[in-house]
A and B are shown apart, each in its own frame.
Chain A
Amino acid sequence: NAGVMQNPRHLVRRRGQEARLRCSPMKGHSHVYWYRQLPEEGLKFMVYLQKENIIDESGMPKERFSAEFPKEGPSILRIQQVVRGDSAAYFCASSPSLTGANTGELFFGEGSRLTVL
């Protein structure tokens, strides 16, 4: 059973370009979370999705950021018109249940590191 797969692992973009980060959850997991880690900081919740639905996007910046988890295929975190402040590690996590995060059933990918020049 493969773990949470994220790609690309490293992405370099120039200011104003778009960044697309992909996440394939563990098999059988329908709950996906995205977190962002800025340098020297902890992980900040961004968005929680289930298949085809955004459940909680309270941590997402209001502009330029969007996320989806289609019926088929990976979850996508999209950042339009990137700025230097978007440089961070973006982690995806998946869980088999709504409350899995409470007891450690939240499994993280290795992260995608975005660098904006």
Chain B
Amino acid sequence: DQQVKQNSPSLSVQEGRISILNCDYTNSMFDYFLWYKKYPAEGPTFLISISSIKDKNEDGRFTVFLNKSAKHLSLHIVPSQPGDSAVYFCAASGLTGTASKLTFGTGTRLQVTL
């Protein structure tokens, strides 16, 4: 039962252009949505998050959009840089009982080319 889905395993974008990574979820009880970035042989690092009561959150080159009715969120990176090449994980969180834990998607590998 994959509650958080990233249907594109990979994406290639030219440097300077916009990267758009997509994520769908099924559980309407999720309260927060996050994006994590992961380099090989390292742990995931937090990028940006959004509360379910908002539809947009921006932080520098990174913007996350949330469409609750479609149960869809996306991460926009503009302009894309070679250092952005990594695996991006979408994650969702909902306070269940006393535990706040993340449910991750399977990841999208972004390759930013020169």
| Residue ranges of A at the interface with B (Cβ–Cβ < 8 Å) | 4, 33, 35, 40-45, 48, 55-56, 91, 93, 98-111
Q: How many A-B residue pairs have CB under 8 A?
A: 71
Given contacts A42-B105, A56-B99, contact A110 B89 (CB under 8 A): no
Interface segment, B14-22, B41-49, B78-86? B41-49
Contact status B100-A101, CB under 8 Å:
yes
Distance of A38 Cα from B85 Cα, bound (Å): 21
Q: How many residues of B contact A (CB 8 A)?
A: 29
| Residue ranges of B at the interface with A (Cβ–Cβ < 8 Å) | 4, 6, 31-32, 34, 41-49, 89, 93, 95-107
A residues less than 8 Å from B105 (CB atoms): 42
Contact status A102-B43, CB under 8 Å:
no
| A16 → B minimal CB distance (Å) | 28
